[in-house]
């Protein structure tokens, strides 16, 4: 709702332009009063860039994605965390004795408790220490003679302490497998960091471009105002001469026609200024309730230093957030491919366990035996598993290989685009600087020609049409000069975006 309110306020302010002059049915001349402009809100480029970086929602969203990627990388690092396990199992059984057997179990109460701690290994396996205790109470019925039975009630504590080592020998072995997700998550985090920097750089570039387009639009309005002022001055002189019979009605109408055309051109320039101001407000995400349209406070033709042309390509290749993000994606794809290729192997896992054991009718005696190593238990197990065809693993490997190639092609294409973009930006900076020099000379000559043509007209050697044509040439020349200044600033912004200057 807040965003809708400030956009509505901005549109309201944009609508506060001078109305288009009404043209009467009788062909009367349009009004010649100057158009008024609503109050504006000047802002310099440095403030605009800082505001956008602090408030722009696209930049903020990319920064949130960095936080998400960092959290996922932290989660993937949990693969190396110690793991504590504990379990308890209880069993009770009461069986009615049957006639005949000499020896039979009639009651069983058992409680098994285990606890252990596991440490993942960089080899892809894990090592753990497990402590187990099984307490069992049994009632054994022994039939000593027909009709005569004796029940033996026995309680046994059977603790075990074991060191357990689990190691994959084929699929899943080694550091590549153990840290695959961790490395891939770290690469994704790095890639997202570069994406965030890219979003910031794009925002700076877009704000800068829009800012100078706004400055140009304001300068275009000033140029049209100057042309209107010249035309109105010419109209006043022509009307005065017409009143004493030294000028015709056609000459008066010619000037009035020129004024109407220039008013239309000014309104078009004003519309462009309103649009650029709104675009800049959106980039800055201004939501402070101030409805005034933004205006560029920095001078369009102020001196500006362009990034050095020497070494621009090297700086761009080293700086480019796009290339850095692609490198990180390539690293993630390489990790995925290595893990997927290893997963095509059959699994062969080794489990070795062993340690002391106790066996007594009291817990103290049983655990005392455990510490004395009077009894022990050791075992080793090899387990083998291989899917026939192994289509799932081979399909994941082939897909990972294709994704790695896709990233490589994307990086090469991006590098080529970057090289071309740097050259275009360098050409743009150089050519717009030349345009400024040529356009400045053209504007000086156009101003001189206006003065000369007015003198000729005052001496009766020229016509109103000639004067108005010279004035139009002056307007065009000054507009071309302003456009060259704006294009120069924009070309510098594009080059700075590419090189990071």
Q: Look-up: residue for tokens 């290749």?
A: 317
Torsion of CA 474, 480, 483, 485, to 10 degrees: -90
Is the CATH number of domain 2-15+27-73+185-333+403-499 1.20.1600.10? Answer: yes
Highest mean pLDDT among 106-110, 205-209, 249-253, 318-322: 205-209
What is the mean predicted confidence (pLDDT) over 309-328?
Answer: 85
CA distances, 459 to each of 129, 164, 452 (Å): 111, 112, 11
Greater confidence (449 vs 72) lies with: 449
Secondary structure of 319-379 as H, E, C letters: HCHHHHHHHHHHHHHHHHHHHHHHCCCCEEEEEEEEEEECCECCHHHHHHHHHHCCEEEEE
CA distances, 239 to each of 30, 43, 248, 456 (Å): 15, 43, 9, 18
The pLDDT score that the predictor gives to residue 435 is 93
Mean pLDDT of the chain: 83
| Residue 343 clears pLDDT 80, i.e. is over it | no
In whole angstroms, what is the distance from residue 427 CA to residue 309 CA? 10
In whole angstroms, what is the distance from residue 295 CA to residue 44 CA? 9
Task: Give per-residue pLDDT as tens, 412-433.
Answer: 888 888 899 899 999 999 999 9
For 246, counting Cβ atoms within 10 Å of its Cβ (0-12 exposed, 13-18 middle, 19+ buried), the class is exposed
Closest CA to 471 of 232, 267, 158: 232
The pLDDT score that the predictor gives to residue 218 is 93
| Residue 220 clears pLDDT 90, i.e. is over it | yes
The pLDDT score that the predictor gives to residue 36 is 61
| Residue 222 clears pLDDT 60, i.e. is over it | yes
Closest CA to 492 of 435, 428, 436: 428
In whole angstroms, what is the distance from residue 221 CA to residue 293 CA? 15
Task: Give per-residue pLDDT as tens, 379-416.
Answer: 899 988 887 877 887 888 888 888 888 888 888 888 88
In whole angstroms, what is the distance from residue 382 CA to residue 355 CA? 19
| Residue 57 clears pLDDT 90, i.e. is over it | no
The pLDDT score that the predictor gives to residue 155 is 87
Q: Look-up: residue for tokens 């740097």?
A: 422
Cβ contact 97:141 at 8 Å: yes
How far does CA 419 lie from the centroid of its chain?
23
Closest CA to 261 of 468, 92, 13: 468
Least confident stretch, 42-56, 108-122, 166-180, 277-291: 166-180
Greater confidence (3 vs 23) lies with: 3
In whole angstroms, what is the distance from residue 247 CA to residue 239 CA? 8
Domain locations along the chain: 2-15+27-73+185-333+403-499, 83-120+125-171+348-385
Q: Which residues make Cβ contacts (< 8 Å) with residue 241, sequence separation at least 6? A: 247
């Amino acid at each position: 709702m807040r965003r809708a309110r400030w956009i509505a306020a901005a549109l309201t302010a944009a609508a506060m332009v001078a109305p288009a002059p009404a043209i009467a049915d009788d062909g009367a001349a349009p009004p010649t009063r100057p158009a008024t402009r609503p109050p504006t809100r000047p802002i310099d480029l440095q403030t605009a860039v800082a505001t956008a970086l602090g408030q722009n929602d696209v930049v903020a969203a990319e920064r949130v994605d960095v936080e998400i990627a960092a959290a996922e990388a932290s989660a993937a690092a949990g693969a190396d965390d110690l793991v504590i396990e504990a379990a308890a199992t209880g069993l009770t059984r009461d069986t009615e004795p049957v006639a005949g057997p000499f020896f039979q179990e009639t009651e069983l109460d058992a409680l098994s408790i285990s606890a252990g701690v596991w440490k993942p290994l960089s080899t892809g396996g894990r090592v753990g220490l497990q402590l187990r205790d099984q307490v069992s109470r049994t009632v054994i019925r022994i039939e000593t003679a027909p009709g005569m039975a004796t029940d033996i009630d026995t309680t046994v504590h059977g603790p075990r302490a074991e060191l357990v080592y689990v190691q994959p020998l084929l699929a899943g072995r080694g550091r590549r497998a153990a840290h695959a997700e961790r490395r891939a998550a770290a690469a994704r985090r790095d890639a997202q960091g570069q994406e965030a920097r890219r979003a910031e750089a794009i925002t700076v570039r877009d704000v800068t471009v829009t800012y100078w387009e706004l400055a140009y639009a304001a300068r275009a309005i000033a140029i049209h105002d100057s042309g209107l002022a010249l035309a109105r001055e010419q109209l006043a002189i022509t009307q005065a001469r017409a009143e004493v019979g030294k000028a015709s009605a056609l000459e008066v109408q010619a000037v009035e026609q020129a004024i109407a055309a220039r008013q239309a051109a000014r309104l078009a320039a004003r519309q462009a200024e309103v649009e650029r101001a709104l675009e800049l407000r959106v980039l800055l995400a201004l939501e402070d309730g101030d409805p005034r349209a933004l205006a560029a406070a920095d001078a369009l033709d102020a001196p500006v230093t362009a990034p050095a042309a020497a070494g621009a390509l090297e700086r761009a290749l080293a700086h480019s957030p796009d290339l850095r993000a692609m490198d990180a994606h390539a690293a993630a794809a390489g990790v995925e491919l290595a893990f997927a290729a290893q997963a095509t192997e059959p699994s062969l896992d080794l489990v070795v366990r062993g340690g002391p054991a106790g066996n007594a009718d009291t817990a103290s005696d049983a655990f005392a035996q455990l510490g004395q190593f009077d009894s022990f238990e050791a075992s080793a197990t090899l387990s083998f598993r291989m899917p026939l065809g192994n289509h799932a693993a081979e399909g994941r490997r082939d897909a990972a290989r294709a994704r790695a190639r896709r990233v490589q092609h994307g990086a090469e294409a991006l590098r080529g685009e970057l090289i071309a973009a740097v050259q275009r930006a360098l050409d743009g900076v150089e050519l717009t600087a030349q345009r400024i020099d040529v356009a400045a000379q053209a504007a000086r000559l156009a101003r001189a020609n206006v003065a000369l043509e007015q003198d000729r007209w005052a001496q009766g050697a020229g016509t109103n049409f000639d004067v108005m044509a010279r004035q139009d040439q002056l307007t065009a020349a000054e507009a071309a000069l302003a456009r060259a200044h704006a294009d120069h600033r924009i070309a510098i912004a594009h080059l700075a975006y590419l090189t990071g200057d």
